[in-house]
Structure formats: structure tokens, C-alpha cells
Amino acid sequence: MVFFDDERLLHTPVMLDEVTSFIKPGKDDIIVDATIGAGGHSREILKMIGTGGLLIGIDKDAEILKIASKNLSKISKSFKLYHADYVDLNAILDELKISRVNGILLDLGVSSMQLNSEERGFSFIKEGPLDMRMDRSKGITAEDLLKRLPEKEMAEIFWRYGEERRSRSISKAISREKRKGGGIKTTTQLAKIIERAVY
């Protein structure tokens, strides 16, 4: 299955000038993009560090790393990509025998490319599987989580992590739907259950 269509492979990075002026990548620098995504910021950074520099890109999403590799290869070969979490940065630098870098970029927002992809299961507007994982090779899907969680735990998660005031109503509605059988399998199915619970 295609993860992203071709027109979105080269999305425009947000605040590119601000990011590069703050990091100030120079010729032959070692720069880490710890949330590289499709490589929007890193394309410009690669141009600035030249062939003597090194860009280290990290992302939890293996699928987006393939796109980053394709995008960055058009600029230079002076990069290494890692399917990892940015918390693994020290281990990656140790592996590369690098003790010092010149700059680190962390874009901690959620990728609009992932949010807009039906297959990833983040959108409640477009029909998609109830997945919601940044790294589809690890962890439990939202569908499986909803199957396993008791009503009270669901409400606690919605309240604590989503700051949802109607967390109890939503978890009750989901539990009711689970008892009917068949499960909750799609984003739009979940959206309709939530909508009925809160309106």
C-alpha cells in the first residue's frame, strides 16, 4: 500500500528560515534532525553542511524514513538515517563514535502527513483503520487498546491525556458498542460513537 502520494513527498517545512538561522549549520558540521519526518528541514541543512558534513536523521516512523532517504539523496549522500526514537540519540552517536555535534533539531509536533493519511488511522474525517501509532512496527493499535481496556481505564486515559471533560460519557458509549459485538474497527466508526456520546 502507498503511504503518501507523490505530491506530498516534498511538503514545505514550517519555519525553515527560523530553524536554519537558529541552528546555523555550517560547512562540515554534524547536525542531528531527531524527528526528521520526510526531511523538509534536513534538505536545507544538507545543502548548508556540504559533502564534508554529516546529517543524522532519526524517526520512529520507518515508512517516512524511506521518503526522507529519497528526498535527501537528491541533495547529498552525507546523511545517515535511523529508525529509532530521539531518546536513543546517545546510543546512535556512540555507534557512530561521535562525541560532539554542532546542532540538534527536534520538531515535537505531530506530522500533518501522518494525520492526513487514512491508513494511519489518525483522521476522524476520512475512513481508515483504527491504528493511531506513530511507529506501525511497534506497540498496540487503538483498535486493540479499545478492545482490551475496561470502561474506567478508558475514561482515565481520555481525561488524563486528552483533557476530555466528557471522558466518562465517551468511555460508556464505547463500552456499550463493544458489548454489541463486532468491535470498533475504523476511525469514522469511533468518531460517530463519540459524537453520539457528547451531542
Distance, in Å, from the CA atom of 117 to the CA atom of 151, rounded to the nearest integer, reads 29
**108-136 average pLDDT score:** 84
* Mean pLDDT comparison of 109-113, 125-129, 153-157, highest-scoring range: 153-157
**pLDDT band at 111; cut points 50, 70, 90:** confident
Is pLDDT above 50 for 1?
Answer: no
Dihedral pair phi/psi, residue 70, rounded to 5°? -60, -45
Tell me the average pLDDT of the chain. Answer: 90
**pLDDT band at 125; cut points 50, 70, 90:** confident
**pLDDT band at 10; cut points 50, 70, 90:** low
**pLDDT band at 114; cut points 50, 70, 90:** confident
Nearest CA-CA partner of 57 in 89, 95, 23, 10? 89
**44-58 average pLDDT score:** 96
Distance, in Å, from the CA atom of 27 to the CA atom of 39, rounded to the nearest integer, reads 19
Distance, in Å, from the CA atom of 24 to the CA atom of 103, rounded to the nearest integer, reads 8
**pLDDT band at 4; cut points 50, 70, 90:** very low
**57-73 average pLDDT score:** 94
Return the pLDDT at 121: 85
Which domains are seen in the chain, by residue range?
Answer: 6-114 (3.40.50.150), 118-198 (1.10.150.170)
Is pLDDT above 60 for 103?
Answer: yes
Return the pLDDT at 118: 86
**For 41, how many CA atoms within 13 A lie in the half-sphere containing its CB?**
28
Question: Which residues, 6+ apart, have CB-to-CB distance to 173 below 8 Å?
Answer: 193, 194, 196, 197
Beta-ladder partners of 30: 54
Return the pLDDT at 3: 42
Return the pLDDT at 28: 96
93 close to 17: Cβ distance less than 8 angstroms = no
